[in-house]
Structure 1
Amino acid sequence: MDAFYASIEQRDHPEYRGKPIVVGGSPQGRGGVVATASYEARKFGIRSAMSSKKAVQLCKDVIFIRPRFEVYKEASRRIREIFHRHTDLIEPLSLDEAFLDVTEDKQGIGSAIEIAKQIRQAIKDELQLTASAGVSVSKFVAKIASDMNKPDGLTFIGPSKVEQFMETLPVEKFFGVGKVTAEKMKKMNLHTGADLKKLTEAELTRHFGKPGKFYYKIVRGIDERAVQPHRETKSVGAEDTFSFDLTTQEEMNAELEKIALTVHDRLYRNNLKGRTITLKIKYHDFKQVTRSHSFEQLTSDLEIIEATAKQLLMSTDLDNKKIRLLGISLSNFGDAVSKQKREETDQLKLF
């Protein structure tokens, strides 16, 4: 979907149309985080996960709107219904994104491009929202293609064009290549897929570990991952590597609040709750530690995530320590087990 949350707000509130808006936390006080920015706001350089205070600096007239997650979830449900008219092989990535395998399309259309056109038109007619689609022979290429002509775009990359396309792709566009890895690659004079292709699988693995094997295959257009309708999510999290090392607890807590909001948003998008909250810390010397706390009941509550992460931070040695990365994740998903149910289970075990 195109700027999903912001597009819904502009659809439902005509006074926001054509204006730079941000769905997310207010810039007041310590400030919140941008969840989604409208395309008008993006022209000023405002992006998701940016601090709201930074967004104001980039555009003084930006309008902040509190998220209405129930509305977004209902729109996502209706979009999923449109998908199911064509295929049951749907792998949701979030509320606003999914992979579809249309090898066997239910309507017998026989063209993935035509199916994508019909899906986009149905979303426009029924929800007054726009979607962009990427059509190709693998998940990786289709995902990249879907971002190429946003908003309201459709990009097809056929089998004969895949390898050429991968060669021209900047390394930062490769799945799993974050800022740190991209910087490392560029220092090695690796700027595009064509550059990566010059290295052997052994060389890529030596420099980048297990992901090196993936890079070796994907740059050659080899991606055999199937669309998984019932993919099990083991954990949901977010982390941030800072431009400058954090040295005070106030700085660390402020960053944890931003990361917690991102995690909460991802949990909400996927309708998940977890019992275990884990804090990840990487110090300036690259030493890494994790701390976890498990609850009896499932939770996705933002305040609980924030407070627990801060408590876990306090349980570590912060004296004269500089922190370059913080991360929060939730795991141990499932249905909450009532006390009565646990007692029944325990009794059954006795017999």
Structure 2
Amino acid sequence: MKKRADLSSSKGQSGFTLIELSVVLAIMTLMAMFSVPKFMESINEKRTGLTIQETQAVLDAARTYRMKNGAWPGDSTCSNAKSVLEGTTPPMLSGVSNKNKFNAPISTQCTTYTFSITQNIIQDWDGDVANGLPSTTITDTANHTIKTTIGVSGTEPALSSKLSRVSTGNAEDNRMRATLYMGGQTIAEGGDIQLATANPTITAQNGSLNLASATNDVSIAPGNILTVDNIKLRTRNNALLSDLLPNYVQKGTYLVRHGWGVIKPTCSNGGVPKASLRPGMMSGGYDPGVTGSGIFGFVYRLIDNGSMWIVQTDIWGTAEERNKLDSLVDVYCYYP
């Protein structure tokens, strides 16, 4: 009976002994030692792959922006390139955080011909990321910093010597640096022509130069002077304007009397001031039987007095009658 009681007591107190528990803990520790590094390695491999993909996405977007606009995105150093790429319509870049998968900031830089992304990785994994990105170097081994750099498109230097048919944002891409030869072809659908050279020349190397418009109106802008040697008028049987115009230009006609002055006109471009006196006639005529009656004047002339002409009139009659005699002076500019 005593033996049965002992057996019953031992069954109620069954479990792990200290030795057995120590063995189990040791086994679990060994399992953790082998599994945790593998687990972390798997996580970092995923981080590495995603970091490479996102870095490449930023580089591709920057390259696309350069091809479209002729310049790298952002300010002069491209420090805000990422926000600029995200702000285009449609966005050239989306879904990329400001930090990489290793929780380090992504910074962008550029020069005239290069665009770069700098970012920190973690120990032992900077080389893996660098190996997954072309043109990438480890620039700071202590902080595990890598830098990825791309240049301008391979065709861009070659195209810099050619004109672009669309606006690229760089005026030099649309600027002609040599004589433009059209080979006899027509220039169509043109807009305004703005000539920057002083005193430019438009020449028809063969035949005549014709100007025409849809409204049958060719105008010179207000305030401009048209200088020509001659003008041919179709409405006058192709007569030259110079043959239809006198070589003098009348500047005015003045009513004058004896002793009055007429100011000479100002004549431009070689014109010579001229004047013509048209004598007047006294009313009443001449009556030989009446003392002091007047007749036509026998002297009518203009005396050159420098800046003006002085009218001189002599008549048969009194001075009072002479001073009331009206005459006309026509003033001209004469062009020999």
User: TM (normalized to structure 1)?
Assistant: 0.17
Larger radius of gyration: 2
Higher relative contact order (CA 8 A, sep 6+): 1
User: What TM-score does the superposition give when structure 2 sets the normalisation length?
Assistant: 0.17
Point out the structure with the larger helix share.
1
